[in-house]
Structure 1
Amino acid sequence: MAATAVLQPYNEAQYDHRAFDSLMDVDESAYYFDSLTGYEHLRSGLRDIFMRHGVSDELAVALLHRHFEMSTNEKLVELGPVSSPWPIAAHEDSVLGGHILPHTWRVFENELHPLEFRFIPQQEFQDARKVQFSQAFFEDFRQYVKANGLENVVGITQLDHGRDADESDVQLMEVTHGRNSIMVPAVPSSDVSGPAFQTIWSFVEKQSSKLDADGIQTRHGLCYKASSTDAANDGIQTRHGLCYKATSTDASNDGIQTRHGLCYKASSTDAANDGIQTRHGLCYKADSTDATTDGIQTRHGLCYKANSNDGIQTNHGLCYKATSTNTTNDGIQTRHGLCYKANSNPTTA
């Protein structure tokens, strides 16, 4: 990171339950983000702001969303791999045995409000990584998201907060059980039912190794909504985030099949006709085992440029909505725009 001059600090607002309560579910937020051409904003304006202010080593862009409701006297606090609601007043940051520090924020009513926190034991608090925003960075970010209608879907998060250096390369995914979000080791996206959504992007310098085309990196990667297996009402199912006709198992009507959530010609079992295969839910050239022909590789269900020049990487796993057989579970599922109670326990097999 380039050396920075002494900047006027920005003092963030205190926690406001309304800022959390007004968040959308992850699928709604992801679709709205796409409708606003969100990725183009990541490639240009947002990336420019983070790089210009020298915060890309510490901060990233987050897709604002929530997995469950919380009461007005609760805050979402991370302790180890688990984030859950703790009964803490809005103005308090001290709890028995330690303190809480924010790690994710959003622009709300023209101020920067914390949304999610992490617990720091008392003996570690003095040396804990604390985020200090500059007034200039906050103003640039606030003005950009307001001007482009992004304030309800794009926030700021601290990179690798609370993680040891030797854990930074561990692939993770987020599983929601009731009102607990748990980070667990990732599995390939082909092993998890439900649509996938990118949730965090960071920015890196261009022309480094294993980069995709636009200076954007995905962190803690994808968010999954649990999907249903029957789709008998309308003949449509979602698998790994894509829609297809459930009644067409051989694609004889149109010659199209889906594998790992992607479409391909059913008559081409070895991709010989067009050189395309799917692996872990992503498309790549079948004759390119090391991505030397087109620069594309897949890792843990994510796609990135193997040796390209414009600053985008993907890593750090998956996030999905667990389902269970208990219909009283408060996990939420969507089916073609309708919300209903999930049947759930994590389905990763």
Structure 2
Amino acid sequence: MAAAAVQTYTPASYDHRAVDAMTDVDVAAQRLQELNGLDHMKSCIRDVFMKHGVDKVFGVGLLHRHYDVAPNEKIIELGPVSSPWVVGDDEVITGGAVLPHTWRVFDGELKPTEFKFVPQRELSNVDRPVFPAAFVKELIGVLQETGLDEVLGVSLYEPGDPDNETMEVTYGRSSIVIPSTGLIGSKVIGPQGFDAFQAAWTFSKKEGEDVVAHHGICAAMGVDDGVTARHGICAAKAESGVEARHGICAAKAADDGVTARHGICAAKMNEGVKALHGICAAKASEGVNSRHGICAAKSSEDGLKAQHGICAARASDDGLKAHHGICAAKANTDGVTSRHGICAARASEDGINTRHGICAAKSADEGITARHGICAAKASDGIKSYHGICAAKSIEDGVKTRHGICAARTAEDGIRAKHGICAAKVADEGMTARHGICAARLANGDGIKV
């Protein structure tokens, strides 16, 4: 009598959500411990594999993520390196095929999570795994019953070699299999002082070796002073605590402590650098407030207020008010009024007239004429402001404002403002401002050239 055919199971299609839902390896390892995962692997999970005779076909792996993967990407292994590839739903791609080698339970089905590239010339020799339907049904039930369906997945069987153990280390968005550096008890010793975690197991019929840990050791969290390396981050060294998260690489942390968060790399912190929300503050002596995309280089005891996309260089005791995307350089006792996208530098008792997007810095009894988007700072013996040019001051030495250039002052030493360059001062030591470069000072001996 012929043996009955074994019903097989076909895993579901790739689902990005199944990968996106996974946690970091240290979190997954902690959850495995909390759920007594190793004990379950030695008992009920092992029993399912042995009962259906798939212990030399499949193993189990710790479900964890190495880095963020986009919906149109798949993690694909090529040699010792796994990385995200942008590929479609078809397994056939240029030069070969991408075949799944790791699966997890998601929405009650087995779904692939990682793949391997197989060259075209080797496809005919590939033994594609067969999933007995009864095995899959029983395994899903056990994993769900123990709560391990979000912690453990199924992987293709790879026999371990005690003399040639390997481990997986993530650099950027690539995971590389390298030789393991050994074990101390149950603790894996990772490279460069990183702790590591066992992440793959197979089942054995040998007495005393019910579960064998091999390969798949993932180095992700480190030394006693607290390096956390997650999502493809490489923390080179931590002496007194580097926190490197979300794509940040902090090279060194001195005893004063560097905090590098949200894409910010703070090189050194002496008296307290606050670098938040994409802001890199180089040094803080008396407290830098850098918020909302503003980089404040230094804040003295009078306090720097930088808000709403405004970078205020200095705030004295008379108080700097910078509102609505306006940067007011200094505010005296008479107060700065800055409204409607206009920056008024000073307001005296004679009153500022700021209208129609024009900024009038001072209005005296000689009268300001501010028209057609032109800002005239002062009119005494005649300001000439033409063609959208702002002439700051016009006295007997004469202001030349041409071609959209604002010349702040022109005295006997002569300002040259050409080619869209604004030269703040040019004295007899000779300033050269060329090719869109503004040179602040060129002394006669120190030879500054910009």
Deviations 1:117-157 (A, max 9, x none): 00011111111121110110100110111111111101000
In the alignment, is the contact (CA less than 8 A) between 1:193 and 1:226 conserved in 2?
no
Aligned partner (choices 170, 174, 193) of residue 168 of structure 2: 174
The residue aligned with 1:217 is 212
In the alignment, is the contact (CA less than 8 A) between 1:19 and 1:108 conserved in 2?
yes
Q: Which amino acid aligns with 2:19?
A: F
Q: Which amino acid aligns with 2:205?
A: E
**Aligned mates of 1:152, 1:94 — CA distance in 2:** 29
Aligned partner (choices 235, 241, 244) of residue 323 of structure 1: 235
The residue aligned with 1:75 is 74
Higher strand residue share: 1
The residue aligned with 1:141 is 139
Deviations 1:91-131 (A, max 9, x none): 22111000011000000000100000000111111111211
The residue aligned with 2:9 is 10
Alignment of 1:1-349 (within 5 A): 6-89=5-88, 91-160=89-158, 170-188=164-182, 189=189, 192-207=192-207, 213=208, 215-220=210-215, 222-228=217-223, 230=225, 322-324=234-236, 330=247
**Aligned mates of 1:80, 1:36 — CA distance in 2:** 34
Structure 1 counterpart SS, 2:193: coil
**Aligned mates of 2:262, 2:171 — CA distance in 1:** 13
Structure 1 pair 15/331, CA: closer, same or farther in 2 (3 Å)? farther
In the alignment, is the contact (CA less than 8 A) between 2:98 and 2:118 conserved in 1?
yes
Tell me how far 1:221 sits from its aligned partner. 5.2
Q: Which amino acid aligns with 1:142?
A: I
**Aligned mates of 1:170, 1:13 — CA distance in 2:** 34
Tell me how far 1:170 sits from its aligned partner. 2.7
In the alignment, is the contact (CA less than 8 A) between 2:191 and 2:219 conserved in 1?
no
Structure 1 pair 72/217, CA: closer, same or farther in 2 (3 Å)? same
**Aligned mates of 1:332, 1:57 — CA distance in 2:** 41
**TM-score with structure 1 setting the length:** 0.62
Q: Which amino acid aligns with 2:94?
A: L
Tell me how far 1:168 sits from its aligned partner. 9.2
Structure 1 pair 119/34, CA: closer, same or farther in 2 (3 Å)? same
In the alignment, is the contact (CA less than 8 A) between 2:165 and 2:214 conserved in 1?
no
In the alignment, is the contact (CA less than 8 A) between 1:175 and 1:322 conserved in 2?
no
In the alignment, is the contact (CA less than 8 A) between 1:8 and 1:136 conserved in 2?
yes
In the alignment, is the contact (CA less than 8 A) between 1:178 and 1:329 conserved in 2?
no
**Aligned mates of 2:148, 2:55 — CA distance in 1:** 19
**Aligned mates of 1:226, 1:31 — CA distance in 2:** 12
Q: Which amino acid aligns with 2:24?
A: D
Of structures 1 and 2, the one scoring higher in RCO (CA 8 A, sep 6+) is 1
User: Any gaps of 5 or more consecutive residues in structure 2?
Assistant: 183-188, 251-258, 266-450
Tell me how far 1:196 sits from its aligned partner. 2.3
Structure 1 pair 328/45, CA: closer, same or farther in 2 (3 Å)? closer
- Say what the alpha-carbon RMSD is for the aligned residues: 3.2
Structure 1 pair 341/226, CA: closer, same or farther in 2 (3 Å)? farther
In the alignment, is the contact (CA less than 8 A) between 1:105 and 1:155 conserved in 2?
yes
User: Any gaps of 5 or more consecutive residues in structure 1?
Assistant: 208-212, 232-236, 239-319, 344-349
**Aligned mates of 2:16, 2:119 — CA distance in 1:** 24
**Aligned mates of 1:321, 1:173 — CA distance in 2:** 17
Structure 2 counterpart SS, 1:104: strand
Q: Which amino acid aligns with 2:204?
A: V
**TM-score with structure 2 setting the length:** 0.49
**Aligned mates of 1:122, 1:74 — CA distance in 2:** 21
**Aligned mates of 2:19, 2:195 — CA distance in 1:** 23
In the alignment, is the contact (CA less than 8 A) between 1:332 and 1:340 conserved in 2?
no
Structure 1 pair 340/185, CA: closer, same or farther in 2 (3 Å)? farther
Question: In terms of Rg, which structure is larger?
Answer: 2
Tell me how far 1:32 sits from its aligned partner. 0.6
